[in-house]
Structures are given as C-alpha cells and as structure tokens.
Homo-oligomer: A and B are copies of this chain.
Amino acid sequence: MLKVPEHQVAGHIASDGKLGPLVDDEGRFFKPLQGDSRGEHESNFYESFTSNKKVPDHIHRYFPVYHGTQLVEASDGSGKLPHLVLDDVVSGYSNPSVMDVKIGSRTWYPDVSEGYFKKCIKKDRETTTVSLGFRVSGFKIFDHQESSFWRAEKKLVLGYNADGARLALRKFVSSNSPADSNLTPPNCAFASEVYGGSNGILVQLLELKDWFETQTLYHFNSCSILMIYENESILMKGGDDDDVQAARAQVKLVDFAHVLDGNGVIDHNFLGGLCSFIKFIKDILLSVDKRHETETSPLENGN
C-alpha cells in the first residue's frame, strides 16, 4: 500500500487530484517522473550516478539509493505512471526533524529557455538564493512538548532574508517550542549534537565540499540538501558528547531534474553556496560553544 509521505517539507505534495511522491511500508520512496523532460533527466542522472566509478564510495552515501523506475498507481488518480524508486531517506526514524535547503546562487543555468530563466531569476532575487547562495525551502521540527510536528509556513520561509535564514537554522536545532520563537529566542539545545560532533552535519558538509572542489562530473543545478535528525533520542539519552550518534544527523542531496554534465568545470555555483551554508552552521556552533564557556566559567564573564 502506497501512501503520502509524512515527512516531506518541500516540492509537490501528493493528494487526490495532485501528483506527488508516495512511500511504501518497506522504506521505498516513489517519485513520479515529471511529464516534460525533467523526469527522464532525473532518472538518467540516477542511472549515470549509480554506476559511475569516478564517484567515491564516501560520496555515494550522500545520495538516496536508486532502484530503477517502476509503473505505480499515481497519487492524482490518473492511473499507472512511471516513478523513480528510491530509498526513503527518513524511513529509519521515529520522528525526524527535516529541513530542505536549495543550494546555489542561481537555480537557472546556461542554455535554458528565456521563460525558465526569467521565472528562476525572479525567485532567486526574491529569496536568499542570490544573497546567501542558498535558500531554505521548508522544514519541520518534532515538538516533544506537544508530541507533534511543527511545520514552517511556506510563505514565511520563502520570505526569509539573511536573518530569517539564520533564525530558521537555529530553530531547527532547538528544544523550546518552535511556535513561540518570535517571543523566545531558539535555545539551540541540539546544535552541538546535530550540527557538531564527529558524525554531525558540519563534518558531512565539509566532506561534500572537499569533493565539490575537484569534481567536474556533474553540475547540480537547483538541487537541495536535506538535513534529517531525531531529537527525541537526544532528549532521552541526555546531551553528553558520547551521544552524538543519538541524533543520527544526516545530509542527503535530492532533486536532480536539472543536473548537467560538468564538462571539465567544477560546479562553482553549488560549491559557493555550500561554503556559505557551512559558514552559517559554523557560526551557530561557535555561538553555542561561547555560551557554553560562559555558563561553565561565570568568573570569566567580564572578559
């Protein structure tokens, strides 16, 4: 039995009359091939990437595992349609907090139609894509006090400026009620476990950055980074350094309908945006470290 994914935070949402991704109970994610060339483009990318020996093993793990395409009853009731079959990246989590961040200072690329160019650059200028080199596309946080998920409103997310994006990245790793964060500043209680640590988000982003500095295989236009973690397990086990694994923080790249051949040139658009995003994450970790120092050394407050 296929159903609408519970943890999707951006992109087309499946429903009666609307085409969108579906999941099964066995951890598979079914993404309908978009009708124009984009669907085929994305499946071609997965075919190429999956079998590409030039991509190192430690990089493959940042991409959803691909199981080919399959005819599946579409969510919009239009009958059987071809779908990409992927591992559902959140299937192993109880209550995953998820954020989708579109990377790059532009979502268009050389040789697109004028119409597509104009549509993209308008949105790129209206959002933080141009100014920050990335934009938050959506996120949800498991609110343990309410025992339910809190979702950021799409309209607000698309209206973020630099401060809004920074606040969202802080809120994403905070334990105080996300709905109240206009009144209460996010406490970043999970920052060191989720963003920091030897298996945290930052380490994973830096590993990707290393690859992007030299890889000229693909240009990842309009791709997103998904950040996923489990906050309940951090709370249950306490916040010691040994519990880095508890958060099971992971980074996945998704959405490859606009990937192009690199033709010997690095993906400077993705790399620049990724470096900017990394700086935001580092700054949050630094602010948490400083606070921690202050808390544990009250005598040094005056320095």
Residues of A near any B CB (own CB < 8 A): 105-106, 109-110, 121, 125, 130-133, 162, 213-214, 216, 263-266, 268-269, 271-273, 275-276, 279, 283
Give the dominant DSSP class at A's interface.
helix
| CA distance in complex: A263, B276 (Å) | 12
| CA distance in complex: A133, B269 (Å) | 8
CB proximity of A203 to chain B, nearest CB, Å: 16
| CA distance in complex: A268, B133 (Å) | 6
Given contacts A106-B130, A110-B125, A268-B275, 12 further A-B contacts (CB under 8 A): A105-B268, A105-B272, A132-B268, A133-B272, A162-B264, A162-B265, A213-B279, A266-B276, A266-B279, A268-B272, A269-B272, A271-B271
| CA distance in complex: A135, B110 (Å) | 15
CB proximity of A269 to chain B, nearest CB, Å: 6
CB proximity of A100 to chain B, nearest CB, Å: 19
Number of copies: 2
| CA distance in complex: A130, B111 (Å) | 11
Q: A105-B106, A110-B131 are in contact. Are A265 and B276 (CB under 8 A)?
A: yes
Contacts of A214 in B (CB 8 A): 279
| CA distance in complex: A216, B279 (Å) | 9
Contacts of A121 in B (CB 8 A): 121
8 interchain residue pairs of minimum CB distance: A272-B272, A133-B268, A268-B272, A268-B276, A266-B279, A110-B131, A266-B276, A271-B272
